[in-house]
Homo-oligomer: A and B are copies of this chain.
């Protein structure tokens, strides 16, 4: 069963082996190429006996079956979909939300018997070649900025594309959630609890690194639609509650890590120690904020309310108040949309639902003190 691919005959060559081709096999057998092709692709088109002979000779000659690339060229089907991510490929395997998305997408691909090609497109390296090189029947684009050159390259390719989360483009299929509405719901919850002085920690708003405070202008101009929508939702809801949004400290972090969340939280709390709630636009950042709160001896939620967004497992374990979004379902839906050839006549949109998770990290401001004053 196992081929010896390191025999003496190979020792000189860099290549593994120059395999026989369909043509050479046909010649050896004294039949036409069509027949050999049929032996592999249309067993019913030739006598079982001949087919057996073909396959057996193939085995003897070490013919590995039709070359997939040549077949793809001929049939115009690659049998794979490409995935373009915001971040380094390897980062995707560290972000629970991305992992969930991948799981769902993989599921959809599996169901369709389609391969999933992870395209090596780092955001720093502006090398779009990887997109051009990808032999795929379509692309799924996961959460990239609207001015991402890789995205532009994908859209130039003559294959269907589905975007998950961002950007929101006319004429391109999309699956996502209503980030603005979800965040308004969370904000309403905080407002109902009594919070009026809040701070915000958000993810990267553009491709340039800006680890620090965010002007209202930058909030509006954010190239990441999702972050923009979440900030907008917050701003709207709090404005309606009488909060002057221009005075709310919003701190941005380029890197999406717990450490980033912690340092951003520190920056907000340093600027305005009087805030009663720290709204983070992701669970990862919120977990960092919790760390920072603990470091400062602030009890959560007694001294400080902290909220997240995503609903990852780690957040659940931490009892985080957050918005849960169906990350895996997003991946599935994106895959299905892409692989479902039917009705590809106009852009389709799938909007999935979210859920407010009331955890143990949000409470009325200064509830501890009040309890102390008025009894439990």
Question: Is A19's CB within 8 Å of the partner chain B?
Answer: yes
| A116 interface residue per 8 A CB criterion | yes
From B2, B14, B130, A172 is in contact (CB under 8 Å) with B2
Question: Which residues of chain A from 335 to 355 have a CB within 8 Å of any chain B CB?
Answer: 341, 344-347
Contact with B along A88-108 (1 / 0, CB 8 A): 111011100001101110110
Does A6 have its Cβ within 8 Å of any Cβ on chain B? yes
Q: Are A106 and B135 within 8 A (Cβ)?
A: no
**A contact residues vs B (CB 8 Å cutoff):** 1-6, 10-11, 14, 16-19, 62, 64-73, 78-80, 82, 88-90, 92-94, 99-100, 102-104, 106-107, 109-110, 112-120, 122, 127, 129-130, 132-135, 152, 155-161, 169-172, 341, 344-347
Q: Within the complex, what minimum Cβ distance (angstroms) separates A144 from chain B?
A: 13
Known interface pairs A2-B171, A5-B171, A89-B109. Does A115 touch B115 (Cβ–Cβ under 8 Å)? no
Q: Closest B-chain residue to A348, C-beta based?
A: B6
Partner of A106, one of B118, B134, B344: B118
Central interface residue in A1, A68, A94, by most chain B CB within 10 Å:
A68
Q: Which of B2, B80, B129, B341 contacts A14 (CB under 8 A)?
A: B341
Q: Contact check, A10 vs B89: say whether CB atoms are below 8 A apart.
A: no
Instruction: Name which residue of chain B comes closest to A127, CB basis.
Output: B113
- Give chain B residues whose Cβ lies under 8 Å from the Cβ of A110: 88-90, 120, 122
Show 18 residue pairs from A and B whose CB-CB distance is below 8 angstroms, ordered by the A residue: A2-B172, A11-B346, A16-B158, A16-B344, A68-B132, A70-B73, A78-B135, A79-B130, A79-B133, A79-B135, A80-B135, A90-B103, A90-B110, A92-B106, A99-B99, A110-B120, A114-B120, A116-B117
Q: Are B99 and A132 in contact (CB under 8 A)?
A: no
Point out the residues of chain B lying under 8 angstroms from A119, CB to CB.
Answer: 115
B70 touches A6 (CB 8 A): no
**Contacts A158-B19, A172-B5; is A93 near B89 (CB within 8 Å)?**
no
Interface of A is mostly: loop
CB-CB under 8 A for A106 and B133, given A1-B155, A117-B115, A118-B115? no
**Assuming A6-B345, A155-B1, A347-B6, is B102 touching A115 (CB within 8 A)?**
no
Q: CA separation between A17 and B161, bound complex, in Å?
A: 13
Collect the chain B residues with CB atoms within 8 Å of residue A82's CB.
Answer: 115
**A120: which B residues are within 8 A, CB to CB?**
109-110, 112-116
Contacts A10-B345, A99-B99, A115-B119; is A135 near B93 (CB within 8 Å)?
no
Which of chain B's residues has its CB closest to A93's CB? Answer: B103
- Assembly CA distance A63 to B347 (angstroms): 22
A157 touches B64 (CB 8 A): yes
